[in-house]
Amino acid sequence: MNLPLKIANSVFVGGEWIKASGEPEPVVNPATEEVIGLAPVATRSEVESAIAAAREAFDRGPWPRMSAPERAAVLTRFHDALVARRDDIIRILVAEAGAVAAILPVQFDRPMLLAKDAIERGARYRDTPLPPGTIPNAAGGRSLVGGVIRREPVGVVAAITPYNYPYLLNVVKLFPALVTGNTVVLKPSPFTPFSALIVAEVAAQVGLPKGVVNIVTGGQDVGELMTTDPRIDLISFTGSDKVGAAIAGQAAPTLKRLHLELGGKSAMIVRGDANLDAAVRAGMSYLMHCGQGCANQTRQLVHNSVRKSYVEALAQAHRAMKIGDPADTSVTLGPLIRESQRARVEHYVQEGLKGGAVLVTGGQRPAHLERGFFYEPTLFDDVDNASVLAQEEVFGPICAVIGFDTDEEAVEIANDSQFGLSGGIFSSDLGAAFDMACAIRTGGISINEGGSAPNSPIIPPFGGVKRSGIGREWGDEGLNAFTELKSLSFRQI
C-alpha cells in the first residue's frame, strides 16, 4: 500500500521529525495480512527527548500562557486541516485498523465533532468569581474582599491510545488537553501507528508551537517510560483494565493524575414490552468494529416472554452480515486486529460451550476467507451470568443472551459485573425503564437508544465505574479532567 504519509522512520518531537533509533516494525493489514508499511520504533532516547520538549513547552513556552480564545483559534486551524485530510485518514483506518465503511462516521466524523466541541467549550473558559464581602480593617473601616476560581492546565500529559478506534482516541485526548493549555506526548498502539503519525504531519503543517504535540511510537517499553517519568503530570490511557491497573501502579510513586478509560461488559436490557425490531437493530451494534469496543453491549438481558423471538431475529441478522475486506464498502463485518485476538475469541467460544451456553450461530472462522483475522459473528443463548463468557471482556464478535423474569432480576444481573461502562434498556414504559436505569451502576446508559446513536448531536460525558475506569471524557467534564483548580483571593488595603 502506498501510504499517504511523507515521514520515513521518524517520530515527531519538539516540532520536528527525528529518526527513531529502534528497528522499524511492519504494520499488517488485518484483512489481508499484507504489510502496509514500516512503523518507526522509539527508544529511550526519543522518549526522553519528547518528554523534555513537552516539559519545556509547558514551563517556558507560549502555549499555556495564551488566552483560551487564542488557543482555540490555533486549534480550529488544526481541526480544519485534519478535516481536509479526511480521505487520507480514512485510507489509513481501513488499512491498519480494519474499519468497515459503516463505522467510518464513528472512526472519523465523530472525533472531529468532539474536537470542535472541545474547542468551542475551551474558548469559553473564564475565571469564576467568588461572592464579594467585607471585613473590618485596621483603620476602623471595612475592606472589600473577593476572589476567583481559576482552571489552569495540569501540565505535561502522557496520552496512550489503543488500536480499535485509533484516530478517534488520539483526537479526543489531544484537543481537550491542548485547548486547556497542556502539552502532550502521545503514544499510539504499535498496531495502528499511522493514524497518529498523520496527525503529527498536520500539527507540523499548521504550525503548533514546538513541543506542544509530540508523538512517539513503539511498544510497552515506550509506554512505561512515559508512565513512570516524573516530568509527566497526567496520564490519559484507554485500554484494558489489566493494563490500566499496571499503569496506576507505575504512576503511584510520582502521584500522577490519572484518567483511565478501561474495559466493559455492558448490559442491554430488553423488557417484555420492548419494540423488538428496534431492540434487535440496537442489539446488533455490539458487532461494531467486529466487537472491538469497550462500550459494546455484549451482555443482552432479555425478558423470557420475548427471548425466543428476540434470539431468532438476532440470529437472522447475524447470518445476513457480509464478512470480508473493509476495502469493499459493502462489507459489514471486518477482521479482528491480529491472530492473537482471534485466538482469544476462539478461547471464549470454547468457554461458552463448556459453561453450557447454547451456540445459536457462528462460533468459527469463515470458510471462504483464507487470509485475514476474521471470525463469524457468534451468538450464545441461555448464558449463565456467573460464567466466564458473561463476566470477562472478550473484545470480539461474541454476544451472550441471558434471560430474566422481573425488572429487579434484570437490574441485579446487570450490576453483577466487575465493569460498569455503558448500557441500554428497551421498553415502551419509559418511567419503568428510567427507574431501572437509575438503579444500574454504570457510567452511561440509554433508553430506547436515546442519544447513544453514532449520529446523535448529544455529547454526554463518557467513562465508567468499577473496573471500567477513572474519570470522564467529552463535554465539560472531559475538559475539566485536564485542569487544576486554583483559588485566588484578594482584598482592598
The answer to whether the pTM exceeds 0.85 is yes
Angle CA 85–296–91, to nearest 5 = 20
State pLDDT tens for residues 248-281. Answer: 999 999 999 999 999 999 999 999 999 999 999 9
DSSP per position, 155-199: -EEEEE--SSSHHHHHHHHHHHHHHTT-EEEEE--TTS-HHHHHH
Please state the rounded mean pLDDT for residues 195-200.
97
Residue numbers annotated as active site: 261, 294
Higher pLDDT, 86 or 141: 86
- Enumerate domains of the chain plus CATH numbers: 10-262+472-491 (3.40.605.10), 267-458 (3.40.309.10)
Q: Looking up cell 483464507, which residue turns up?
A: 370
Tell me what pLDDT residue 454 has: 57
Tell me what pLDDT residue 8 has: 76
Q: Which amino acid is at 235?
A: I
- Is 35 a residue whose pLDDT tops 90? yes
73-82, 129-138, 229-238, 477-486: least confident range: 129-138
The pairs formed by 472-478 with CB atoms below 8 angstroms and a separation of 24 or more are: 472/443, 473/172, 473/173, 473/176, 473/259, 473/261, 474/114, 474/117, 474/172, 475/117, 475/121, 476/121, 478/118, 478/172, 478/176
How far is residue 323's CA from residue 444's CA, in Å, rounded to a whole number? Answer: 30
Q: Which helix (H) or strand (E) holds 456?
A: none
Question: In this prediction, what percent of the chain has a pLDDT beyond 70?
Answer: 99
The one-character DSSP state at 208 is P
State pLDDT tens for residues 397-422. Answer: 999 999 999 999 999 999 999 999 99
Please, what is the angle between helix 68-84 and helix 166-179, to 10°? 160
How far is residue 173's CA from residue 482's CA, in Å, rounded to a whole number? Answer: 10
Please state the rounded mean pLDDT for residues 64-84.
97
Pairing type for strands 25-28 and 35-39 reads: antiparallel
On average, the pLDDT of the chain sits at: 96
